Amino acid sequence: MAYSFNLLGISPILDFFSHQQNRQGHIAQGGAAYVGTHECKLDTFIRSVEEVSPPRGWNLDQAVDAVIQYWMTNEGYVRHWQQRLQDAGQESLLVARLADAKALRLELEALVGQ
């Protein structure tokens, strides 16, 4: 199965945690995983992916590979978000999304259904 990893943007810490609380039901339904970190480093995102993949039944090796591939092919975006995170200060997180095709479909259906 193919996984998609993307850096999405900067969020205040409290907003991110509030969003995560509202999404708790999506884990059981197979929705996308959103992770937030204080630093824009490959190792940090790999650790986050290692935490969120097992509850969803995702293939951990393939999920980690998606993060690594993103990092290697999107150097400009990574540098951009590193700078934006630094500019935002310590009360912010860099948010990323990891999803498989089913999770992306569920996210889209949820958006269309609203």
- Residues 32/103, Cβ–Cβ less than 8 Å: yes
**pTM score:** 0.86
What is the CA 59 to chain-centroid distance, rounded? 16
- Which tens digits make up the pLDDT trace of 83-109? 999 999 999 999 999 988 777 777 777
Q: Per residue in 35-78, pLDDT tens?
A: 999 999 999 999 999 998 888 888 999 999 999 999 999 999 99
Could you tell me which residues come within 8 angstroms of residue 26 by beta carbon, excluding any fewer than 6 positions away?
A: 32, 106, 110
Contact present, 94 and 81 (Cβ < 8 Å): yes
